[in-house]
Structure formats: C-alpha cells, structure tokens
Structure 1
Amino acid sequence: MKFTDQLWQDISPVYEAILDHGFVGNLLDGSLPGATFQYYIQQDALYLTDFSRALNQLAARAATPNDMLQFTQFAQNAILVERALHETYFTLYNIQPETRKMPACFAYTNYLLATTSLQAIAVGAAAVLPCFWIYRQVGKYIYQQAIQENPYRAWIDTYAGDAFDQSVNQMLALTDAYAETAGPIELDQMREAFRISSRLEWYFWNDAYTQNRWLV
C-alpha cells in the first residue's frame, strides 16, 4: 500500500462526513441557496490566493528542479482558477468579491502558510494534498450525481476535466516520493498534517453552509 493510500484510509471518516454534509447534498441536487454559494465562492477565491503562496513556498524549498517546477505549476494553476472565479463565476452568479477571510478560511490558509514555511517540505506537501485529493473526489461525486438542470452546473462541470485529475495524480506521486525518504517522526508529522487539512476542508464547507462569521 502506498503511503498516500494509508493517508486516505486514515481520513475516511472525515471524507464520509464531507459527503454527508448538507452543503454537498444541496449543491448536488441544486437546492443550495444563492447566498450560501456566494459565501463559498468568495472565500474560495481568497483561499486560492494563499494556497498559491503556500505552493510557491514549497517550490522555493524544493531540492530538485523538477520538484520546483511542479510546485510552481501547481501555484500558477491555483491563481488561474482564482482568476476564473472572478471572471466567470462572479459574473455568472452575480457575486460580489470579498476581501475578508471568515474563520475557516482564515484558519486553513494560515495553517498551510505556516506549515509550508516552517515544517519539512514533506510535511508541507502532505498539508496541501487534501485540497487536491478531496476536491477531486468530491467533485467527481457531485458531477456524477448532479441533475443536468442544476443552477450550479457550470461550476460543477469544471471538476470533470482531465487536467485537474492529472494535477492530483502528480501531487500524489510527489507526496509518496517524499514519504519514501522520510524517517518515522517525519512520517507521523505528514500524517498529522494531512489529517488537519482534511478536517479544515470540512470546516470550510461548513462555514459556508452555516454562514459563519466573526463575532464582531
């Protein structure tokens, strides 16, 4: 069993909780309120900017040119997706940009930035992996079951492409390669980083679903 397979097995309860979440269910059947989707897209745009920064930090610390190039390409793709949100979905769904991160987005992005800058590169790779992997699995789950007349069909269709699938496979291969040379302590740190980011994926969707905001 690959190391990444072990990681996925470890967070299977988190993934099931994500699939069972009302946000995913409502997005799938098209009943998600517009305000909820707007909150989500606004926060996702802010998240992707810092996600790109985290990936660039890994690129700067990578030991080989190939790894540097891979992380740089991932970072560029994250910005391109963020730009697409603004140019396509913000207009299509009449969404206004947001400049303030809400609690889950704030916690998630700060965790990623801290981990990719302060921990070993292998741990940083494990921390960013859930955004790739969980998103692919959830995206496929929604795409396969969503009704054709879904008001969010344009957004759903973006996760059916081969390009994103290829990026996820590349990130999985990178993480497995780092795990092969990591010692026992570092492997435990990778597992914990993957678990934390996976939990934060759930909180990200939950914040949108509950319209969670700062107290003051």
Structure 2
Amino acid sequence: MNWSTNAWEHIKPIYNSIVKMPFITELREGTLPVEKFQFYMAQDSHYLEHFGRSLAIIASRIQEVTDMLAFIKFAEGAIVVENALHESYFKEFNLTGKGNMQPACHHYVHSLKSTATLASVEVAVAAVLPCFWIYREVGTFIYENQNTAANPYKKWIDTYAGDDFDVLVKQAIEIADRLASKCTTAQQQAMTDAFCTSSHLEFQFWDAAYTLRTWEDSL
C-alpha cells in the first residue's frame, strides 16, 4: 500500500463527516443561504492567498526540479486562477470585500505556513494535500448527487469536479507518494499526521462558514 492510500484511510471518517455536514448538503441542493456562501467565499479568498504562499515556500525547498515546477504551478493556480473565480463570485453574490480573516481560516493558514517553513518538505507536501484531494472528492460527490439543474453554486461545483482540477490533484498525490517512498516509517507517520491535521481543518473551515463563526463568538 502506498502512502497516499494509507493516509486517505486515516481521514475517511473526517471526509465522511464533511460530505454529511449541513454546508455541503445545502450547497449540493442549492439551498445554502447566501450569507453563508458569502462568508465562505470571503474567508476562502484570504485562505487562497496564504495557501498560494505555502505552496511557493514548498516549491523553493523541494529538490526535484519537476516537482518544484509543479508546486510553482500550483501556487500560481491558487493565487491567480482561483482568485479570478472568486472575483466573479464577489460580483455575482454582491460581496464588496473579504473583510477580516476569522478564526478557522486564521488557524488553517498559519498551520500551513508554519509547516511549509519549519517542517520537512515531505511533511509540508502532506499538509497541503487535503486542500487538493478533499476538494476534488467533495466537488465530485456534489456533482454526482445534484438534484437540481438550477443550482446557484453550479460554477463552484463544476470547478472542483472538473478534469483540469483532477489533473492537478493526481499530480500532487503522485509527488507526495514519491517523497514518502524515500522516507522512514517515522517520517511517513509525520506526513500522515500533517495530512490528518489539515483534513480536520478543512472540516472546521466549512463548519465555521455555516455557523458564521467570528472572533466575537469566542469572547
């Protein structure tokens, strides 16, 4: 069993919880309240900027040139391509700005950036992988289980269920497996731990959007 297959087995309960959570269910049905999607998009705009920076840090540290180029492309996609998608959503859903970064997003991006900077590059690659892999799986799940042709969130669904994104996800998984194949058992476990942590944070990100969780809620 390669590393990625084993890692996915570890986070299956998290993924199963994600596809059952209200945010995903209502996104699939097209009934998600607009204010919750607005909150999500604003926070995701913050997230993508810092996710792109994390990917760029990894690109600067990774040794194999082809993998370095792949992570440069990933970073560009996060910052340029997906921000363009967000800009169109900002107009469509009447968002005038992204506001402040809220707790779930703050926790996630700082976890990624510190891991990308301070952990081994193998662990860093594992930490950013859930954002690729889980989004593809969720996008595909929603696409295959839609019950309306007039879903206002169709563009979002089509992006993450699309072939172009699938190619990037497969490439990221292959890089992680290649790096893991050269690691000790202990190093592979550290990769899995980072993968699991980021998967938990993916759940928290969507849950925070559904509950509109802000810093004031913790006071």
Structure 1: how far apart are the matches of 2:5 and 2:208? 28
Structure 2: how far apart are the matches of 1:120 and 1:54? 13
Deviates more, 1:59-68 or 1:172-181: 59-68
SS in 2 for 1:133: helix
Structure 2: how far apart are the matches of 1:67 and 1:132? 16
1:149 paired to 2:150: yes
2:126 is aligned to 126
1:190 is aligned to 191
Amino acid at match of 1:213: T
2:36 is aligned to 36
2:70 is aligned to 70
Normalization by structure 2: what TM-score?
Answer: 0.95
Residue pair 2:37, 2:209 contacting (<8 A) in 1 also: yes
Structure 2: how far apart are the matches of 1:139 and 1:96? 26
Deviates more, 1:63-72 or 1:35-44: 63-72
Structure 2: how far apart are the matches of 1:13 and 1:97? 35
1:167 is aligned to 168
Please list every run of 5 or more consecutive structure 2 residues that lacks an aligned counterpart in the other structure: none
Structure 1: how far apart are the matches of 2:139 and 2:169? 12
Amino acid at match of 2:75: A
Residue pair 1:41, 1:85 contacting (<8 A) in 2 also: no
* CA-CA distance at 1:95 after TM superposition: 1.6
Amino acid at match of 2:132: F
Structure 2: how far apart are the matches of 1:205 and 1:81? 21
Amino acid at match of 1:43: Q
Deviates more, 1:77-86 or 1:39-48: 77-86
Deviates more, 1:147-156 or 1:71-80: 147-156
Structure 2: how far apart are the matches of 1:190 and 1:206? 25
Amino acid at match of 2:171: Q
SS in 1 for 2:215: coil
1:208 paired to 2:196: no
Q: Deviations over 1:23-60 (max 9, x none)?
A: 00010111100000000000011100000000000010
Structure 1: how far apart are the matches of 2:169 and 2:86? 23
Amino acid at match of 1:191: T
Deviates more, 1:43-52 or 1:98-107: 98-107
Residue pair 1:45, 1:85 contacting (<8 A) in 2 also: no
Please list every run of 5 or more consecutive structure 1 residues that lacks an aligned counterpart in the other structure: none
Residue pair 1:112, 1:128 contacting (<8 A) in 2 also: yes
* CA-CA distance at 1:177 after TM superposition: 0.5
